[in-house]
């Protein structure tokens, strides 16, 4: 086994795949934060239809495997829409990967936000209302900032899960990190060295992300201080 030779051969492919992995992960997480937040607000609202939409969304996402969601969005939905007469409709591989990752992460973030809000003492809402703040403003100014702090560790874990889940998008042809590794293995048959290097790259990226999350927790005075 010659790891140095494999690395010198594969590193341009790995960096190319890493760029795609980071791009698809960051974009999907950005979208997922908004999806999760609005799904959470719908779920805790007093309007029943909004509650039902949020619960249905979370139920479907949590009850089906990620890879099935990926195939439905990439192949199933375009086929359905084409059957309605829109023959030019299609998702690119990148669009399908981002949409699936965002929808998947958004459902879990919705539950994370809901848990953070429910962890706040209800007396704080009552106190804010007694001072004359409308419920919406009290939620925005008093409850949500505290709920966000409480949610940071769980959100960080979800960020890491989404980054790793992006590797599954190689089944629809997304040329991310694992896809590039598969291409190299197909050419050289050096499976052990290649996938060990791919795993090492993921380990570095997730270690850096974990450090950033930890520092964010400390800056927002959540958890133990150093």
Confidence of residue 147 (pLDDT cuts 50, 70, 90): confident
Q: Which of 104, 110, 27 is nearest to 73 (CA)?
A: 104
Burial class (CB in 10 A: 0-12, 13-18, 19+), 182: middle
Per the model's pLDDT, the better-predicted residue between 108 and 220 turns out to be 108
Average pLDDT for 141-150:
84
Confidence of residue 223 (pLDDT cuts 50, 70, 90): very low
Q: 143-148 long-range CB contacts below 8 Å, 24 or more apart?
A: 143/117, 144/117, 146/116, 146/120, 147/113, 147/116, 147/117, 147/119, 147/120, 148/113, 148/116
Per the model's pLDDT, the better-predicted residue between 102 and 89 turns out to be 102
Per-residue burial over 10-39, b if 16 or more Cβ lie within 10 Å, else e, is beebbeebbebbeebbeebbebbbebbbeb
Q: Which of 48, 19, 44 is nearest to 174 (CA)?
A: 19
CATH code of 14-175, in short, is 1.10.3720.10
Q: How many residues does the chain have?
A: 226
- For a pLDDT cut of 90, what percent of the chain falls above it? 64
pLDDT in tens, 53-80: 999 999 999 999 999 999 999 999 999 9
User: Lowest mean pLDDT: which of 27-36, 77-86, 178-187, 197-206?
Assistant: 77-86
- pTM, entire model: 0.89
Average pLDDT for 161-177:
95
Q: What is the gyration radius of the CA atoms in the chain, in angstroms?
A: 21
Confidence of residue 84 (pLDDT cuts 50, 70, 90): confident
Give the pLDDT score at 221: 64
Look up tokens 């010198």; give the residue.
8
pLDDT in tens, 7-50: 888 889 999 999 999 999 999 999 999 999 999 999 988 899 99
């Amino acid at each position: 086994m010659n790891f140095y030779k494999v690395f010198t051969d594969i590193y341009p492919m790995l960096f190319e795949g890493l760029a795609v992995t980071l791009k698809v992960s960051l974009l999907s997480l950005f979208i997922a934060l908004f999806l999760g937040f609005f799904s959470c607000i719908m779920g805790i609202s007093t309007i029943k239809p909004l509650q039902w939409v949020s619960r249905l969304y979370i139920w479907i996402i949590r009850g089906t495997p990620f890879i099935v969601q990926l195939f439905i969005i990439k192949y199933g939905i375009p086929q359905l829409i084409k059957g309605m007469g829109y023959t030019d409709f299609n998702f690119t591989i990148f669009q399908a990967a981002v949409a699936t990752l965002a929808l998947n992460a958004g459902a879990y973030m919705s539950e994370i936000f809901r848990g953070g809000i429910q962890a706040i003492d209800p007396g704080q809402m009552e106190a804010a209302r007694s001072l004359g703040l409308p419920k919406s403003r009290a939620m925005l100014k008093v409850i949500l900032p505290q709920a966000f702090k409480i949610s940071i560790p769980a959100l960080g874990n979800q960020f890491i899960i989404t980054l790793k889940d992006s590797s599954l998008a190689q089944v629809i042809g997304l040329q991310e990190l694992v896809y590039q590794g598969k291409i190299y293995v197909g050419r050289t048959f050096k499976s052990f060295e290649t996938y060990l290097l791919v795993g090492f790259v993921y380990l570095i990226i997730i270690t850096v992300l974990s450090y950033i999350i930890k520092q964010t927790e400390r800056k927002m005075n959540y958890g133990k201080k150093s």
